[in-house]
């Protein structure tokens, strides 16, 4: 009933629309608009779907962020994850599943809602998990996990790995701390299509969303602005590359990371001194592991995604 009450009051292009419901003595059925392309998760890992190009991933994330920004005027979603971002026939992103949502703090003096911890493992805000204080920034943290999923094509949790690499967030931060070049943890399918400036902007946004201190995380309005900027960088790069290719009478493949990142961009390289043997790098990603032995290949298609749902 909570979901029906909320959705009956919400109308936004990036929120799934409730068409109707049926409630009898034994069962309740909710009827939503048809989402032809299923979930965002299905195009990142755990299926045989063709991976999405980088620009389209940004457009989907931007749509979901706009939906959450609209929601945050009154409501905390409480279960933001890639399986709750649905895609319609035009690949427009729509946030779904409001069964756990709560009306957020409305007064200036109120910053959180005290409530029992609910949500999905791998996406939970650590502050919410430890102190049972739900805030708008709890959704921002969860969205930060989705940002990493989209960049790395890896589930938020892989239970059979060690504690340092099982969690996507811990794994990403460990790579950051240990100096693993960022290009080694990006989904190989999109690696050659991301420019240095766009990648820098995106990683900075993701890490800010995942800040341990919720007060230091951006608002969803700020997230929308940063994603708009990242998308504009992609559009500008496409325009400049097309113009150059047209002028030279040829079309160009996207640049390799080594072609656009200088030593000064240490926040992209993470640590300048981290190097690999050329033979090791040339063997990846055909092998099942990165040159950094503790990091699993971000796109093994054998991953199972237990949270996947079928929408018909």
Q: Which entry of 79, 97, 125, 226 is annotated as an active-site residue?
A: 79
88 is catalytic: no
Among positive and negative, which fits the CA dihedral 171, 52, 210, 179?
positive
Residues designated catalytic = 79
């Amino acid at each position: 009933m909570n979901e029906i009450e909320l959705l009956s009051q919400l109308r936004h292009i990036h929120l799934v629309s409730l068409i109707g419901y049926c409630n009898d003595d034994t069962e309740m059925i909710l009827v939503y608009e048809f989402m032809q392309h299923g979930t965002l998760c299905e195009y990142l890992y755990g299926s045989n779907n063709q991976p999405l190009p980088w620009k389209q991933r940004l457009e989907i994330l931007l749509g979901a962020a706009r939906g959450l920004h609209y929601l945050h005027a009154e409501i905390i979603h409480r279960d933001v994850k890639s399986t709750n971002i649905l895609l319609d026939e035009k690949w427009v992103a729509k946030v779904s599943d409001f069964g756990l949502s709560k009306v957020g703090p409305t007064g200036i003096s109120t910053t959180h809602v005290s409530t029992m911890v609910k949500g999905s493992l791998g996406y939970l805000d650590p502050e919410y998990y430890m102190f049972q204080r739900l805030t708008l920034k709890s959704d921002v943290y969860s969205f930060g996990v989705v940002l990493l999923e989209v960049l790395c094509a890896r589930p938020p949790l892989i239970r059979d790995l060690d504690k340092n690499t099982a969690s996507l967030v811990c794994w990403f931060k460990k790579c950051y701390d240990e100096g693993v070049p960022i290009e080694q943890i990006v989904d190989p399918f999109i690696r050659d299509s991301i420019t240095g400036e766009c990648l820098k902007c995106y990683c900075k946004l993701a890490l800010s969303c995942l800040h341990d201190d919720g007060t230091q995380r951006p608002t969803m309005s700020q997230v929308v602005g940063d994603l708009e900027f990242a998308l504009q960088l992609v559009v500008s790069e496409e325009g400049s590359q097309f113009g150059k290719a047209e002028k030279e009478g040829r079309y160009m493949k996207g640049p390799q990371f080594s072609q656009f990142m200088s030593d000064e961009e240490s926040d992209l390289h993470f640590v300048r001194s981290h190097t690999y043997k050329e033979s090791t790098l040339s063997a990846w990603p055909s092998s099942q592991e990165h040159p950094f032995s503790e990091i699993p290949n971000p796109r093994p298609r054998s991953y199972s995604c237990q949270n996947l749902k079928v929408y018909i």
